[in-house]
């Protein structure tokens, strides 16, 4: 028997393949030892090392067939036994080369060397192979170690039994003599908050860790896809869990909300003081000369315009959203209509002094009330259609600011909203044009100067408001509108009434019939 043939290209067979020879030798010894397996038959074998060369494998096969030291093709020089079969190489290429030779001589090449075998080893283990040559379901898992001094250690680390794998990882020693399991990937694990992204042109075990997109998380390691957070939630900083979004709205507790609320209070108190002054001095010439009825309507409308700011500050509700824009539009329309009425009254008062002019009967409170009623009626119609067709409602904005929910009022119909603003702008521009045209009237009717300047301030505020309103987002959109309401209302208050109050309180000598006019407007 020749165990190794080392005369070819190999200097020495590799020790790491010794286990295959030991397993084979053990199997042959066990079969020969048990007479029940192959009665009256003793197995033997010749084994050659091919060194992983196909030609060497064929050479070894010829030597086995010849049976001598030298190769004698077609001659059998065996002095013992008989060759009945060959077992192939570990490599399929060498096995195919051997099979090509064996087909010529009619010898079989085995891949599974026993079938229908059932025996018990000396250690008591039951070994059997079924009719297909399949091994038993129970397989011992061995850990083989080859040390630098060529010594070998074998340790059982688990079993495969009943289609289940049992492995004791703590007993496994790897090739680097470490108990740490080597990684089978070329990339580090992707921690929560990241996802695995395959690299084009590389194996699936090679990947990069890509951060989850905005609004997505991963909460496990090596996840291939990210999870989208619910609408009410947002990823935390590490993107490994969803947290509740921060809710934003123009709050009274915010510095901006506090400032606007304080400004509202100051302007409301100032308007109340102006109203008290006008009531106390209602019989004086300077108050009566400015059409006392229209003045009171205008002052009261300004008071309510400051109060309507309270509808814009705080958490939006169904009621506040319904009333917010509608109340603002109606109150401001009343204020602008009153200013327009004062302008028309000034014009009527001047033309009534000319021959053929308008009758003095039209200069009383009836004309001013009619003008205010007609102007307000147009805004009432616009707001009624607005509320019936597409009214404002509370809404949530989750896109303007990252990780935040902005509570706001949706105007419903933007067309109706801008129609209401446009109607107010039309009245303001009309009042400004009329006041500008009559600004050169005699000094006794110099109210036109104040109206012209107040409408200029009013129009400037709202012309600036619209583009700023469209560019801002979140609670600052509401803050811009509140600022426009306060600024335009304050402009009317300061331009139309503060100069009169200054004259009444500080310069009372000018509050006389001679200083104002000998004509009184009723």
Lookup: tokens for 372: 């205010």
The segment(s) of the chain belonging to CATH 1.20.1070.10 are 255-513
CB neighbourhood size of 351 (10 A)? 14
Give the number of residues written for the chain.
522
- For the chain (522 residues), the mean pLDDT of every run of 10, in chain order, is 40 67 84 84 84 84 80 76 82 84 85 64 65 67 80 83 81 74 73 88 81 90 89 88 87 88 93 92 77 87 92 90 91 91 77 53 68 92 93 86 84 90 90 80 62 85 83 83 90 88 82 55 37
Q: Could you tell me which residues come within 8 angstroms of residue 335 by beta carbon, excluding any fewer than 6 positions away?
A: 298, 301, 302, 305, 489, 492
Judging by beta carbons within 10 Å of its beta carbon (0-12, 13-18, 19+), is residue 452 exposed, middle or buried? Answer: buried
**Strand, helix or coil for residue 268:** helix
What end-to-end distance do the CA atoms of the chain give, in Å? 140
Whether the CA torsion 95, 98, 103, 105 is positive or negative: it is negative
CATH code for the domain defined by 15-136: 3.40.50.2300
Determine the pLDDT at residue 1.
Answer: 32
Residue 217: C-alpha distances to residues 62, 88, 139, 174, 187 (Å):
66, 54, 43, 36, 21
Domain with CATH 3.40.50.2300 in the chain: 15-136
The three-state (H, E, C) secondary structure of 462-495, written as one string: HHHHHHHHHHCCCHHHHHHHHHHHHHHHHHHHHH
Q: Which two tokens stand for residue 186?
A: 């070329």
What pLDDT, on a 0 to 100 scale, did the predictor assign at position 137?
Answer: 67
**What would the CATH number be for the domain defined by 255-513?**
1.20.1070.10
Instruction: Give the pLDDT score at 53.
Output: 83
- Distance CA(389)–CA(17), nearest Å, equals 88
Beta bridge partners, 207, equal 198
Kind plus residue range of the DSSP H or E element containing 99 = helix 92-105
Q: Which residue has the tokens 């000998």?
A: 518
What would the two tokens of residue 395 be?
């809404």
- Residue 449 is predicted with a pLDDT of 77
- Rg over CA atoms, the chain: 51
Degrees, nearest 5: CA angle 469-470-472: 65
Contact status, residue 501 vs residue 299, Cβ threshold 8 Å: no
Contact 205, 174 (CB under 8 A): no
CA–CA separation, 377 vs 467, rounded Å?
28
pTM, two decimals, is: 0.59
The phi, psi pair for 160, rounded to 5°, reads -115, 115
């Amino acid at each position: 028997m020749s165990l190794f043939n080392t005369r070819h290209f190999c200097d020495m067979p590799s020790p790491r393949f010794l286990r295959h020879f030991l397993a084979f030798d053990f199997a042959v010894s066990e079969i020969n030892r048990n007479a029940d397996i192959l009665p009256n038959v003793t197995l033997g074998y010749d084994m050659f090392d091919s060194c992983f060369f196909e030609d060497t494998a064929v050479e070894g096969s010829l030597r086995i067939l010849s049976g001598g030291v030298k190769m004698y093709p077609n001659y059998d020089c065996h002095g013992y036994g008989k060759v009945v079969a060959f077992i192939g190489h570990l490599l399929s290429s060498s096995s195919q080369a051997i099979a090509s030779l064996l087909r010529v001589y009619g010898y079989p090449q085995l891949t599974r060397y026993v079938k229908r075998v059932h025996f018990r080893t000396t250690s008591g283990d039951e070994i059997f192979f079924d009719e297909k040559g399949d091994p038993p379901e129970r397989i011992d898992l061995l850990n083989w170690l080859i040390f630098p001094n060529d010594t070998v250690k074998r340790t059982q680390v688990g079993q495969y039994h009943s289609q289940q794998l049992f492995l004791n990882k703590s007993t496994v020693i790897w090739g680097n003599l470490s108990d740490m399991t080597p990684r089978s990937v070329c990339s580090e694990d992707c921690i929560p908050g990241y996802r695995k992204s395959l690299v084009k042109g590389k194996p699936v075990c090679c990947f990069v860790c890509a951060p989850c997109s905005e609004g997505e998380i991963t909460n496990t390691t090596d996840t291939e896809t990210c999870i989208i957070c619910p609408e009410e939630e947002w990823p935390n900083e590490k993107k490994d869990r969803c947290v509740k979004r921060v809710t934003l709205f123009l709050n009274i507790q915010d510095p901006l909300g506090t400032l606007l609320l304080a400004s509202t209070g100051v302007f409301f108190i100032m308007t109340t003081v102006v109203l008290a002054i006008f009531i106390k001095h209602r019989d004086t010439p300077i108050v009566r000369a400015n059409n006392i009825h229209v003045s009171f309507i205008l002052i009261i409308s300004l008071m309510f315009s400051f109060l309507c700011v309270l509808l814009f500050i705080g958490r939006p509700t169904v009621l506040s959203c319904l009333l917010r824009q509608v109340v603002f539009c109606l109150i401001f329309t009343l204020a602008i209509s009153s200013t327009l009425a004062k302008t028309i009254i000034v014009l009527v008062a001047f033309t009534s002094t000319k021959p053929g002019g308008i009758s003095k009967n039209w200069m009383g409170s009836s004309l001013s009330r009619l003008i205010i009623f007609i102007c307000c009626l147009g805004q009432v119609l616009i707001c009624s259609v607005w509320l019936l067709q597409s009214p404002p409602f509370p809404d949530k904005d989750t896109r303007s600011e990252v990780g935040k929910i902005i509570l706001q009022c949706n105007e419903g119909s933007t067309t109706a909203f801008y129609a209401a603003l446009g109607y107010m702008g039309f009245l303001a521009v009309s009042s400004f044009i009329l006041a500008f045209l009559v600004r050169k009237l005699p000094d006794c009717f110099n109210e036109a100067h104040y109206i012209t300047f107040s409408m200029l301030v009013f129009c400037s505020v709202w012309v600036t408001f619209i583009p700023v309103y469209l560019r801002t987002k979140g609670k600052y959109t509401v803050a811009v509108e509140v600022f426009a309401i306060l600024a335009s209302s304050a402009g009317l208050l300061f331009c139309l009434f503060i100069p009169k109050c200054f004259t009444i309180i500080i310069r009372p000598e000018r509050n006389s019939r001679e200083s104002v006019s000998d004509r009184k407007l009723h």
